[in-house]
Amino acid sequence: MAPPTRSEIWTYFKPDDDRNKAQCIICNKKYSRKGRTTSSLKNHLKSMHPEQFSLFESSSNEKQMQKMKAEAHKIVTPLQETKKQLSIEEAVQKEKKWDTNNSNSKKIDELIGEMIALQNLPFNFVEGLGFRRLIQELSPRYNLRGRNFFTDFVCTELYGKVANKVKELIEKFDYMAFTSDIWSGPSSNASLLCLTCHGISENFDRSSIILKCETFDDHHTGDIIAEKFDMMLTEWNISKEQVHCIIRDEDSNMKRTKRLAVFNDLDCTVHKMQLAIRSCLQSQENITVAIQKCKKISTHFNHSIIAQKQLQKIQDRLNQPHLRVFQDCATRWNSTFYMFERFLKVKDALRLYINDSEIDPISPEEWKIIECCVELLKPFEEATRELSNSHTLISSVIPIIKMLAKKLDDYLTRSKDSDSIRVAVTTLKTEVSAKFSTLLEENNLYVIATYLDPRYKHKFFTPVIEKKIKDDILKIRTIIENDVSNSRIISPNLKGTKKLRTGDSLVKDTEEPETSGTARKPCLKSDLAMMLDSSIEDESQEISENGCPDAALKKELLSYRNKTRVNTSENPLKWWSVNSNELKILSGIARRFLSPPPASVPSEQLFSSAGFIDEPLRNILEPEKAAILRFIKYNSTILDTRRP
C-alpha cells in the first residue's frame, strides 16, 4: 500500500517531541493537535498568519487539481471499480430507477419496441421472467414497463417515427409506381390488402416503401378495392396524377380496380411466366407422371425421419453429402425445377433406397425427362429470380424475355430429345410469345423504360419502333410542359400516354413462384451481355432541329443515343446520376419510367411472412395493431437505426 500523502501544512510547522503538539516555524510557538490531525494547525495559520495561509490554500488547490487530472487518465479495472467504496449519495443514485424522460430509458424503450415489431413478438413478451432478468442484469436502473406501455409506444411513437420517414421519401418522388395485391389468409375472413410504393429521387436513389398492409374484410370486388386504394393514396397525400403505373396480379377484380381508378396498370411478369411454364409442364402426360412420382417420393421422406436417416446412410456409403429431397408446390413453378434438380443430385442414393422399398421406382425414361426439364427450365429459373429481385428495374423485362425466346429457339435447333419433350418446348415457346411479345413491343411503359436504360438503349428495337419511342417521349414532354404552365402536375398517363398502350392479357393467376433457391452459377446476365455484344452497333448520327420547340429534348435524345452503352453488370441509375446535369430533361423522364419493378413480388413478399404476425397464438391482436406492426417491420430498412 502506498504511504499517505504529506499535507502542505507541514511547510509551516514541524513535529514536536510530543506527538500531540507541533511548533509553528513562523512564530516558534507550540500548538496542540489532538487526535494528531492538522485542523488546529490550519486554524492557527489562518488566524495568526493570513498571508501564509493564502499561499497554503493556493498550493493545496493546485496539488489537488494535479491529482484529479492524473486520476482522470488512470485506467480503472472492473475489479477496482467494484472494490471502490461508494458514498451515501452515490449508493442512493445507483439504486434509483430512471424516469420515463431519461435519455437512456428512451433509447432502451425504442430498442425494445423495434425488437417486438421486427421479430414478430407478442407485446406481453416484455412481461416474461427471462426477459426481465436479462434487462435487470444489463441495465439495473432501467424501469421496465409492461405490455400496455409498449403497445402504446409501438403504435404511437415508433409508428410515428417510421411514418415521418416514409413521408420524407414520398416527397422526393415526382412520380411513383405501385404494386398492389390481396392475400387470403388461413381463415376465410382474414384477407390482407397491400400497397407498396416505388420511386426515384432527384439524385437517383431508388426506394421501395410499404404504405399499407391491412386487414380487408369486404368483398373482393373491383369497386370496393378501388375505393380502398383511393383512401390509401389520400392518407399519404398522394394525388392520382403522381401515379405512374400499378403492377398487379391478373385477377379480374384487380384489373377492374385499375380501370375504375384510371391508372396505367401492368400484369406481373413473374405471374405470366408462371402460367407459360405450367402450360408447358402440363402439356405432356409423361412429364406430369414424372412430377407426380417425384412428389410422392418427396412426401415419403418429408413424413418419415427414419426414411431420411436411411437415405443419409446410403449417401455416406457413396461418399455423398447429406441432401434432402425438395417438395413441389403447385402454385410456384420453380419449386418443380428445384425438386427435379435435387432428384438428379441424389439420383444414385435414391435408386438404392427405392430398390429396398415399396416405392414406385422412377424409370430410365422418366429420369431422362427430368434431365431435359432441368436443362430447359434452368434459364427460366434464373430469370424468375432476377425479375423477383428488389433491385431489378422494369427495363430488364424486354431483354430477359428476348433472351429466353432465343434460348428456346436454340434448344429446338440442337435438341434430339423425344417428341414429347419437343412438343413441350414448342408449347412453352408459343405461350411466351402469346403472353409477352405483342404486349412488350407496344406498351410504352416497357419500351420507353428499356430505351432509357443505358445498358440496353435501342438494341432491342427496330429503327421504326425507335422512332416511335422518341416521338412518344417528345409527346410526354409536351404534356408535362402544358401541365406545369397551368400550375398543376398532371400525369401524362391520363391524357397522353394512356392512348399509346394496347390491351391487357386475359390470363388469370393469383400466385407468385418461389423466389429463393440454392446457390447456382448465374448465366442469364452473361448470356444477355453476349447477346448485346453480338448485335450490330448503329453509329448513325441524327441532326437536331435547333429552331423547333422540342430542340432541347431532341438534342438530349441525340446525345443519349450516341453515348456508349454501359455493361449489363453496372447500375443504370448510377449512370443517370452522373449524366443528369447534361441530360436534364431526359433524366426527369427516366426517373419516372425506371421507377416500377417488373413484378408484384414486393407486395406478395409481405404475405409470405404475414402468418408470423397473424399466427393463431396471437388471434386477439387487433387488426389495426397488426397493420402497424407490418408497417414498422417492412419499412425498418429505411430507418437510420442500429444494425448488427
How many Cα neighbours within 13 Å face the side chain of 13? Answer: 29
Report the relative pairing of strands 13-15 and 191-200 from DSSP bridges.
unpaired
DSSP SS3 for 19? coil
**Mean pLDDT on 386-398:** 92
CA proximity to 599, closest of 389, 363, 378: 389
Query: pLDDT at residue 5 above 60?
Result: no
Query: pLDDT at residue 492 above 50?
Result: no
- Contact (Cβ atoms closer than 8 angstroms) between residue 556 and residue 379: no
Chain-wide mean pLDDT for the chain?
A: 80
- Calpha distance 384→40 (Å, rounded): 92
- How does pLDDT run across 119-148, given as a tens digit for each residue? 888 898 999 999 999 998 999 889 988 999
> Which residues, listed in sequence order, are joined to residue 38 by a DSSP beta bridge?
none
Q: How confident is the model at residue 559 (pLDDT cuts 50, 70, 90)?
A: very high
In degrees and rounded to multiples of 5, residue 413 shows phi and psi of -70, -45
pLDDT at 244: 92
- How does pLDDT run across 500-521, given as a tens digit for each residue? 333 332 223 333 334 434 455 5
pLDDT at 89: 56
DSSP 209: E
Q: How confident is the model at residue 489 (pLDDT cuts 50, 70, 90)?
A: very low
- Calpha distance 462→311 (Å, rounded): 55
Give me the amino acid identity at 112: I
pLDDT at 203: 93
pLDDT at 518: 43
DSSP SS3 for 32? strand
**Mean pLDDT on 264-285:** 90
- Calpha distance 226→27 (Å, rounded): 103
- Contact (Cβ atoms closer than 8 angstroms) between residue 641 and residue 629: no
- Contact (Cβ atoms closer than 8 angstroms) between residue 16 and residue 22: yes
Cell of 534: 453480338
pLDDT at 555: 93
> Which residues, listed in sequence order, are joined to residue 179 by a DSSP beta bridge?
196, 247
**Mean pLDDT on 286-305:** 93
**Mean pLDDT on 280-301:** 93
- Contact (Cβ atoms closer than 8 angstroms) between residue 341 and residue 374: yes
DSSP 226: H
- How does pLDDT run across 201-251, given as a tens digit for each residue? 999 999 999 898 877 776 667 777 788 888 888 999 999 889 999 888 766
**Mean pLDDT on 395-405:** 93
Supply the pTM of this predicted model.
0.75
pLDDT at 512: 38
- How does pLDDT run across 520-542, given as a tens digit for each residue? 556 777 778 877 776 555 545 55
Q: 10-19, 231-240, 479-488: which range is least confident on average?
A: 479-488
Query: pLDDT at residue 477 above 70?
Result: yes
Residues found in the chain: 644
In degrees, rounded to 5, the angle at the alpha carbon of residue 629 between the alpha carbons of residues 387 and 509 is: 35
pLDDT at 142: 92
Cell of 51: 498571508
pLDDT at 522: 62
- In 243-266, which positions are buried (b, 16+ CB within 10 angstroms) versus exposed (e)? bbbbbbbbbebbbebbeebebbbb
- Calpha distance 638→169 (Å, rounded): 9
- Contact (Cβ atoms closer than 8 angstroms) between residue 29 and residue 49: no
**Mean pLDDT on 617-644:** 74
Please say whether the dihedral angle defined by the alpha carbons of residues 341, 346, 347 and 353, taken in this order, is positive or negative: negative
- Calpha distance 176→196 (Å, rounded): 10
Cell of 47: 488566524
pLDDT at 582: 94
pLDDT at 88: 57
- Contact (Cβ atoms closer than 8 angstroms) between residue 336 and residue 274: no
Q: How confident is the model at residue 577 (pLDDT cuts 50, 70, 90)?
A: very high
- How does pLDDT run across 306-363, given as a tens digit for each residue? 999 999 999 999 999 999 998 888 777 889 999 999 999 999 999 999 998 889 999 9
Q: 241-255, 399-413, 550-564: which range is least confident on average?
A: 241-255
- How does pLDDT run across 60-115, given as a tens digit for each residue? 877 777 777 666 566 656 555 555 555 555 555 556 788 888 899 999 999 999 99
In degrees and rounded to multiples of 5, residue 145 shows phi and psi of -95, 180
- Contact (Cβ atoms closer than 8 angstroms) between residue 613 and residue 626: yes
The residue that leads in pLDDT, 35 or 387, is 387
Query: pLDDT at residue 493 above 70?
Result: no
In degrees, rounded to 5, the angle at the alpha carbon of residue 427 between the alpha carbons of residues 421 and 433 is: 140
Query: pLDDT at residue 547 above 70?
Result: no
Work out the percent of the chain whose per-residue pLDDT is above 90: 41
Query: pLDDT at residue 487 above 50?
Result: no
**Mean pLDDT on 380-384:** 93
What percentage of the chain's residues is helix, strand, coil (to nearest 5)? Answer: 60, 10, 35
Please say whether the dihedral angle defined by the alpha carbons of residues 232, 234, 497 and 575, taken in this order, is positive or negative: negative
